[in-house]
Structure 1
């Protein structure tokens, strides 16, 4: 028992000594009156104010010119081909089709003035076995427009455009098992030259509408052979594309509306559309209003290949029919854009 009490006393004494030692170690030391020298800081100290003096620098002249022109060229080539062996029982005919497209556009923008020139050239042909060659596409379209900005979305414009075709156009019919072709159109037969002034509404870059309050159009049929009837016993046609027999030009004054849309609606997919309405002042009737809608949907497959779906809807009684005309083309081919 005595040994246990002695052990407890020794433990308590040791703990008390440790506690006093810790308290002593943590007590603050009064340095008043002590000469303690601190080491000098190696960092330099600023003495006195700093004086700044201006330095003359020679101006650097940048030898650069601003280019207000922006051009873009698209070239496309489409080839379709079908071949069958002589003993092929599934039916079909050997054929080859080739088509080409050139779309060139130049824009000039400076301050409130702008100028746009666009050229569209299209041509295509198809050849089926035991048949004559036929056109699948043929168009020349050149549009020029100069405009002056009046407000944020409105412009005053003047435009000039030309439209015709490259090659002769024929209608075909089969007589005694053979195809017969009749000439119905050719270069400048018809050809259209349109001048227009008015106002343009352009709320965004990819959409615009021209309102041509003063529009004049000349329709050309320069070859008199187009007036000949397929039946040689019949007299010549009285009018062709609105041009009277014995004349080569028809002049018209009209009110014109042209709307254009050009935008990438999806990734690598572009939709381009152009609608034109032509209302002659002389013969102001709903049945005499001309309408034309061109639509092109182009999807890029890779750097050099694309697929395109194009269509045209036309209503023009001067073409010889009072019904709506339509054409559609689906193509897969090569496409090149400059500059890249």
Structure 2
């Protein structure tokens, strides 16, 4: 009965949301004329259970909730843009247990001053952290799993103040470069600590230069691509540069079903001297708000 109720609820939700999705979003037309928004929420869930299954297979489940918002208000003097990215996911595998698969809370707010049509001085603020605890897994001498916490909500957290000049020739491309003061907050796990000093530091300020390159392109009404390249270099030297390159291709299969292909590449000198990579293929229910 429980599974039947879930299926009925999903069918009802699909019937309710699908007409709005076909028109561009559930709340399409609700914003003032000088505001634009691209807001998408998604839920993805996979579940496999094996019992006396003679072929190879391991019971597992994976869930992922995402919220991606790009909201901008435009006036004669200035434009105000807010980016929000929320990702939270977990995987369970029989014999291994639960593992965090995705965990991000990101908010960026930019105020562009319309000096010319394409050149815009800007100020802004960015905040980044995670929701759940992160762990490092190892084994003791007896082969038992040892779980060691290495991160949590607000540890680390990154707060960045921005000011610079943006080149925005059209709605699909922008290049920003300017001053950034990046503050790392870490109360217990040492992400802000300077190992060369005896005192344990919970806060660290890094003034430096920052570059943000963004591009997006809609191949059709159902296929779109966006990319963002962020780089930060503090004033201590170029060898301590941080960077994140994000790429996402989205294909709308049906009004409530979307396929996403993503590839991210990151480098953070404070965390690891090697480049980090992440690739993903996501398929699930998608609710477009705008």
2:37 is matched with: 71
CA–CA separation in structure 1 for the residues paired with 2:54 and 2:88: 32
The CA deviation string for residues 155-204 of structure 1, in whole angstroms up to 9 with x for no partner, is 11111010010000111124434322111111111110111101001112
Query: Normalising to structure 2: TM-score of the pair?
Result: 0.83
Alpha-carbon contact 1:242-1:318 (below 8 Å) kept:
no
Q: After the TM superposition, which segments of 4 or more aligned residues of structure 1 sit over 3 Å from their partners?
A: 174-178
Deviations 1:130-164 (A, max 9, x none): 22211110000000000112223111111101001
Q: Which residue of 1 aligns with 2:275?
A: 324
* 2:229 alignment partner, one of 275, 281, 298: 275
Task: Tell me, in whole angstroms, the C-alpha distance in 2 between the residues paired with 1:273 and 1:72.
Answer: 15
Q: Which residue of 1 aligns with 2:27?
A: none
Let me know the Cα RMSD of the aligned residues: 1.8
Give the Cα separation in 2 of the matches to 1:180 and 1:297.
Answer: 38
- For 1:290, the equivalent position in structure 2 comes to 242
Name 1:113's counterpart in structure 2: 78
1:263 is aligned to 2:201 = no
Structure 1 position 152 matched with structure 2 position 117:
yes
**Aligned residue in 2 for 1:23:** none
| Cross-structure match for 2:254 | 302
Distance in 1 (alpha carbons) for counterparts of 2:119 and 2:84 = 25
State the alpha-carbon separation in 2 of the partners of residues 271 and 79 from structure 1: 24
Higher RCO (CA < 8 A, seq sep 6+): 2
- Could you tell me whether the CA contact under 8 Å between 2:230 and 2:244 is conserved in 1? yes
What are the residue-to-residue correspondences of 1:48-67 with 2, within 5 Å?
67=33
Aligned to 1:205: 171
2:220 and 2:148 map into 1 onto residues whose CA distance is: 44
Q: Within 2, Cα distance between the matches of 1:72 and 1:98?
A: 23
Q: Name the CA distance, whole Å, in 1 between partners of 2:201 and 2:234.
A: 20
After superposition, the C-alpha distances for 1:54-76 in whole angstroms (9 at most, x for unaligned) are: xxxxxxxxxxx964223342110
State the distance in 2 between where 1:106 and 1:336 align. 16
Q: Rg bigger for which structure?
A: 1
Q: Distance in 2 between matches of 1:327 and 1:135?
A: 14
Deviations 1:56-108 (A, max 9, x none): xxxxxxxxx9642233421101112223232423x221100000101123211
1:46 aligns with none
Aligned length in residues: 255
Give 1:263 shift.
2.1
Q: Which has the higher strand share?
A: 2
C-alpha change, 1:329 and 1:178, in structure 2 (3 Å) is: farther
* Equivalent position to 1:187, from 126, 148, 153: 153
Distance 1:87 1:156 in 2: 63
Task: Give the TM-score normalised by the residue count of structure 1.
Answer: 0.71
- Alignment of 1:337 with 2:288, yes or no, is yes
CA contact (8 A) 1:220 1:243 kept: no
Q: In 1, Cα distance between the equivalents of 2:158 and 2:233?
A: 15
3-state SS of 2:131 partner: coil
Shift of 1:267: 4.5
Alignment deviations for residues 98-133 of structure 1 (CA, whole Å, 9 cap, x no partner): 001011232110124100011110000000012221
Structure 2 unaligned segments of length 5 or more: list them: 1-30
Name 1:32's counterpart in structure 2: none
Contact 2:105 2:128 in 1 (8 A): yes
The alignment status of 1:173 with 2:138, answered yes or no, reads yes
